[in-house]
Structure 1
Amino acid sequence: MAENPPSSFPQTRISRQELVDLVRSQLEALLQQENFQGAKALLVPVQPADIAQAIEYLPEKMQAIAFRLLSKQEAIEVYEYLDSSVQQSLIAEFKHQEVLDVIDKMSPDDRARLFDELPAKVVQRLLQQLSPTEREATALILGYKEATAGRIMTTEYLSVKEDLTVTQAIERIRALASTSEMIYYLYVTDRERRLTGTVSFRDLVIAQPEQRLGEIMTRDLVLVHTDTDQEEVAQTIQRYDLVALPVVDTEERLVGIVTVDDVLDVLEQETTEDIYKLGGLEAGGDSYFQTDVLTAARKRVVWLFVLLIANTGTTAVISSQEGVLEKVVALAAFIPLLIDAGGNVGAQSSTVVIRGLNLKEVGIKKALQVITRETITGVLLGLMLGIAVIFWAYFLEGNLQIAITVGTSLLAIVILAAISGSGLPFLFGAIGLDPALMSAPFITSVVDVLGVFIYLMLARAILQI
């Protein structure tokens, strides 16, 4: 969405990305000239998130220099927006006290996320030198399992007792706002810190000053537990249109909140993982240009080897049916067409099913219904494509039997692909594996082997070879 740029930039409507590119190019030029005052002035009107992105785009040797130009408070905000690989490289460049000054002021959830990426020895050293309050908050978060609500929550929230008046609650917000990540909700707890209700800032504004929080708070709670999967947390926030979601432990005591900005990070992470898996890739945490070529190749080669081995099945099937191909050489010309069509249909079916599983629209109980629906879709697609291919094959070869063989085979392969693409993700889910592993390349390999076998078997029957 286009926005007005800061006053130090041309007064035209430019996109946020264009602004970042402009800041990065001007910042790099000023740093090359060693004009540090000019570079510092350049960054003054720029948002922390945009500064972080501009720094990420700089040559690595300039990143630490640019970061040191920021004021202490701005440096803390910018650091939280940086990619984890850039955060780690800056730690290596900083003096020890500079590292502590930044990390001690980070929000606990962002600090825990950074510590997940650092070597264990570095984490232990940094933890020991944090202030007692920050060390306790960070250790609490790191103590929960990865990819759970406990691991992505922050402990910077406002809790109150229900006997406070609205005026007293507003005063508490004023006093503690600077140390809290979220002030739009107050969380009402009892003496044992058990969550009993929530009060939104809107509730406070429209209430009478002397009303007690117990009179205006919402007792119908939407919450998650520390061991709730982060994907479920994201779906809960999305379902109820929340800005933040309280997190309680096994004894129902309030221990933290998950904010919507953290949920956006989770959704990006989960979507990225699924896209990688659908493409037959090992998921990676770094951005494209921050991953070296050797690492990129290593992450891709495993699935390629698996698919290579799987595709030897196609070769074996063709080799076993050489007699058919030798007698009717024209059959070989249609093999790529058939297996590509089958692979595409299988990929479409699996994509639809995997999306439904991720969004909880379908489950294992509806597997038969989904597979039946996709099979009917496959029949319709196969009939439409098969009829078209019969005419095309007859036009190319002038042989009706070959044309019928190709068209019939396409119908059978498309139906097979629809069943495989919709059924295999459910099978993987049932045995405890990620359905996204049933990626398009894997399904294509399965359909290739069986498709070629079906094609050549039908050719034997129809052409009476």
Structure 2
Amino acid sequence: MTEQTPPSQTVTRDELRQLVRTQLEMLLEKGNLQGAKALLIPVQPVDIAEAIELLPESMQAIAFRLLSKDEAITVYEYLDSTVQQSLLQEFKRQEVLDIVDQMSPDDRARLFDELPAKVVRQLVAHMSPKERQATALLLGYEEDTAGRIMTPEYISLKETLTVAQALERIRTLSNASELIYYLYVTDISRHLKGIVSLRDLVISPPEQVLGEIMTLDVVSITTDMDQEEVARLIQRYDLVALPVVDKEQRLVGVVTVDDVLDILEQEATEDIYALGGLQGDGSNYFQTNLFTVARKRVFWLLVLLVTNTFTSSIIQTQGTNLAWTGQAIAITAFIPLLTGTGGNIGAQSSTVVIRGLNTNELKDLSPLQVIGREALAGFLLGTMLGILATLWGYYILKETLVVAIAVGSSLVVISLLASVSGSGLPFLFRLLSLDPALMSAPFITTAVDVIGVLIYFHIARLIFFHL
């Protein structure tokens, strides 16, 4: 059997990933394990994880076992949680314990969050005392906080050490730490006193004391800080990591930038799902059971279904008041245009406001200033669209002037209403401690549909009886 030649190092990273995806499954189907193993040699762990995820479930464990022990642990941390759980079921007990025991504490804590409690208890019982303590520490903090995502693997130094002694300590502990670019200086009680970068140590005289070169103004976070705020701080100060301290200012861990990138993606996904009226939990939507998907999506659809019955009632009532004349029937033909336009304007306003709340862009503006600005924008948009709708209805659709004016005037009012609703509801729901993104979308749609149709018919009736 001919051994598979590893891909050339001159190919691009995208080409290499594509090559792995297309050839790995083929080699495993043929039983060419040596060729598959050679194929994976030049591939980065994150790309190997992606390739394994795309394999049929029956091949995932086979491909994973081709990796060396150290590489397998790194690749495992990059795998989706559903694949991680599937592989755990395929491995023998000792293989599972070896992988779990050597994972980074923060990645292990995330895995344990996804596993059944019974399985977690079995794994924890067989872990080494050191790793068991590190995992218990992280799981003791609330979800989505700095304490839950931090790693307790860091290097701390005493301020009385010389540069030479500090470098020697770093060499000794480097394999036990996830981060060596920043070194944290603590006192005998582990209180955070300062920070020294590896660059500072390299360029300083060997006999100089750390207390003389350390930076005293340290940006730190507490264990109960929300993970989104942690991400903002790392982004704001362009840091690779942030030290985490407890209530007594004792150093307990470090949050690294790779964890923050995962957080930003997770939070962005949840916000986008929420804007669509979906109750996202950060899991992969397309790998979630269809019944679970339907359950999450049906709630707001039911809300809209029930509330939109009010729209039907208004149409029936107002249509009767207008005696369902020819013009009244013509009026109803424009309802989808008005509600659809109003819904789009409201969605635009809510999107920019919710995004501004999440990124702190609105910190210098009061809610009234934001709503006022959006109201003006809605009025301008409504005026432009209203003029076009009036001209379109009268000259192109050949409707009467009364109908055309009613449509154009209503469009102005509905656009103003939609902008105020779209910008105001996120502030209201945040004040009520509700998720602005999740709550705003269905309520904006409801407000525009129900109140917009009511306004439309009232304006039409006024115009019919006065023109």
For the criterion TM > 0.5, the same-fold answer is: yes
- Partner Cα separation in structure 2 for residue 15 and residue 296 of structure 1: 34
**What amino acid sits opposite 1:434 in the alignment?**
D
> Of 261, 271, 276, which aligns to 1:274?
271
Cross-structure match for 2:7: 9
- Partner Cα separation in structure 2 for residue 411 and residue 111 of structure 1: 55
1:208 and 2:205 are equivalent in the alignment = yes
1:40 and 2:37 are equivalent in the alignment = yes
Moved more, 266-275 or 363-372: 363-372
Cross-structure match for 1:374: 374
The structural deviation recorded for 1:81 is 0.3
The structural deviation recorded for 1:449 is 0.7
Contact 1:428 1:435 in 2 (8 A): yes
What pairs with 1:52-201 in structure 2 (closer than 5 Å)? 52-201=49-198
Cross-structure match for 1:403: 404
SS at match of 1:196: strand
Cross-structure match for 1:394: 394
- Partner Cα separation in structure 1 for residue 323 and residue 269 of structure 2: 43
Q: 1:52 to 1:157 in 2, by over 3 A?
A: same
> Of 233, 237, 242, which aligns to 1:240?
237
- Partner Cα separation in structure 1 for residue 401 and residue 12 of structure 2: 61
- Partner Cα separation in structure 2 for residue 63 and residue 28 of structure 1: 10
Moved more, 139-148 or 285-294: 285-294
The structural deviation recorded for 1:288 is 4.2
- Partner Cα separation in structure 2 for residue 42 and residue 439 of structure 1: 49
The structural deviation recorded for 1:171 is 1.4
The structural deviation recorded for 1:157 is 0.5
Contact 1:85 1:286 in 2 (8 A): no
**What amino acid sits opposite 1:379 in the alignment?**
F
The structural deviation recorded for 1:363 is 4.8
SS at match of 2:249: coil
How high is the TM-score relative to the length of structure 2?
0.95
The structural deviation recorded for 1:321 is 1.5
1:49 and 2:50 are equivalent in the alignment = no
- Partner Cα separation in structure 2 for residue 269 and residue 291 of structure 1: 15
Q: 1:321 to 1:272 in 2, by over 3 A?
A: same
- Partner Cα separation in structure 2 for residue 311 and residue 145 of structure 1: 39
Q: 1:364 to 1:307 in 2, by over 3 A?
A: farther
Cross-structure match for 1:326: 324
In the TM superposition, what whole-angstrom CA distance separates every residue of 1:350-379 from its partner, at most 9, and x where no partner exists? Answer: 001001111122259710111111111111
The structural deviation recorded for 1:398 is 3.7
1:253 and 2:257 are equivalent in the alignment = no
- Partner Cα separation in structure 2 for residue 417 and residue 236 of structure 1: 34
Contact 1:343 1:440 in 2 (8 A): no
**What amino acid sits opposite 1:45 in the alignment?**
P
In the TM superposition, what whole-angstrom CA distance separates every residue of 1:228-286 from its partner, at most 9, and x where no partner exists? Answer: 01010000100000000000001110000000000011111111110000011121443
The structural deviation recorded for 1:423 is 0.4
- Partner Cα separation in structure 1 for residue 10 and residue 286 of structure 2: 30
**What amino acid sits opposite 2:358 in the alignment?**
N
Contact 2:7 2:42 in 1 (8 A): no
**What amino acid sits opposite 1:130 in the alignment?**
M
- Partner Cα separation in structure 1 for residue 221 and residue 191 of structure 2: 13
- Partner Cα separation in structure 2 for residue 193 and residue 325 of structure 1: 81
Q: Any unmatched runs of 5+ in structure 2?
A: none
Moved more, 108-117 or 325-334: 325-334
Q: 1:325 to 1:10 in 2, by over 3 A?
A: farther
**What amino acid sits opposite 2:73 in the alignment?**
I
Moved more, 21-30 or 211-220: 21-30
- Partner Cα separation in structure 2 for residue 142 and residue 254 of structure 1: 17
Cross-structure match for 1:4: none
The structural deviation recorded for 1:297 is 2.1
SS at match of 1:54: helix
Contact 1:147 1:230 in 2 (8 A): yes
- Partner Cα separation in structure 2 for residue 143 and residue 11 of structure 1: 45
1:437 and 2:424 are equivalent in the alignment = no
Q: 1:284 to 1:147 in 2, by over 3 A?
A: closer
The structural deviation recorded for 1:202 is 1.6
The structural deviation recorded for 1:45 is 1.0
Q: 1:135 to 1:272 in 2, by over 3 A?
A: same
The structural deviation recorded for 1:439 is 3.8
The structural deviation recorded for 1:15 is 4.8
How high is the TM-score relative to the length of structure 1?
0.95
- Partner Cα separation in structure 2 for residue 210 and residue 246 of structure 1: 26
Among all aligned residue pairs of Structure 1 and Structure 2, give the percentage whose two residues are the same amino acid.
Answer: 66
The structural deviation recorded for 1:11 is 6.3
**What amino acid sits opposite 1:334 in the alignment?**
F
Moved more, 444-453 or 154-163: 444-453
SS at match of 2:103: coil
- Partner Cα separation in structure 1 for residue 47 and residue 127 of structure 2: 28
Cross-structure match for 1:25: 22
Moved more, 364-373 or 165-174: 364-373
In the TM superposition, what whole-angstrom CA distance separates every residue of 1:288-310 from its partner, at most 9, and x where no partner exists? Answer: 44223333222212221122122
In the TM superposition, what whole-angstrom CA distance separates every residue of 1:125-152 from its partner, at most 9, and x where no partner exists? Answer: 1111110000000000000000000000
Contact 2:267 2:282 in 1 (8 A): no
Cross-structure match for 1:290: 287
1:419 and 2:417 are equivalent in the alignment = no
SS at match of 1:154: coil
Note the aligned Cα RMSD (angstroms): 1.6
How many residues end up aligned between the 2 structures? 458
